[in-house]
Amino acid sequence: MIRNDSALTLRTGLVATLILCAPVALADCAEQLQRLSTDLRGVALTETQKQTIGGMVDEARRYCWVHREEIAMVYVTKARNIAGIKPAVSDNDWETVPLESLERTPPPASTDPDNIKR
């Protein structure tokens, strides 16, 4: 039987593991693992979920370490799904930005007669 304070210790250990992996991993991996740890705070998880997520975080850290970021992100996404957390959206997620919003509109033509080229 697991007491409440041991569950808290497991959760604290999971969060600490996620925070400590940042210097070792690539920037994007570290950022995503950090976001996951932040998003996991306050989430009620069963022991099975904690163990499963902990294993996935370990796998993600290993893949980050060997510069296989895409596989690491698969593990981070699976961990988020198990915890019931929405996928993290990057501020610079250019794949979801419509191209039309990136196009610059030309400045309005000048109506000042002194600025018109002849």
- Rg of the Cα atoms in the chain: 22
Among the ranges given (8-12, 26-30, 62-66, 75-79), the one the predictor scored with the smallest mean pLDDT: 8-12
SS3 at position 85: coil
Q: d(Cα 94, Cα 22) in Å, to the nearest integer?
A: 24
pLDDT exceeds cutoff 60 at 21: no
Enter the pTM of the model. Answer: 0.54
Using pLDDT thresholds of 50, 70 and 90, give the confidence band for residue 20: very low
The overall average pLDDT reported for the chain is 74
- Band of the pLDDT at 76, cuts 50, 70, 90? very high
Residue, of 28 and 108, whose pLDDT is higher:
28
Q: Could you tell me if residue 13 is left (phi over 0), alpha (psi between -120 and 50 degrees) or otherwise beta?
A: alpha
Region of 25 on the Ramachandran plot (φ > 0 left; ψ -120 to 50 alpha; else beta) = beta
Q: What is the pLDDT of residue 30?
A: 85
- Alpha-carbon distance 26 to 61, whole Å? 9
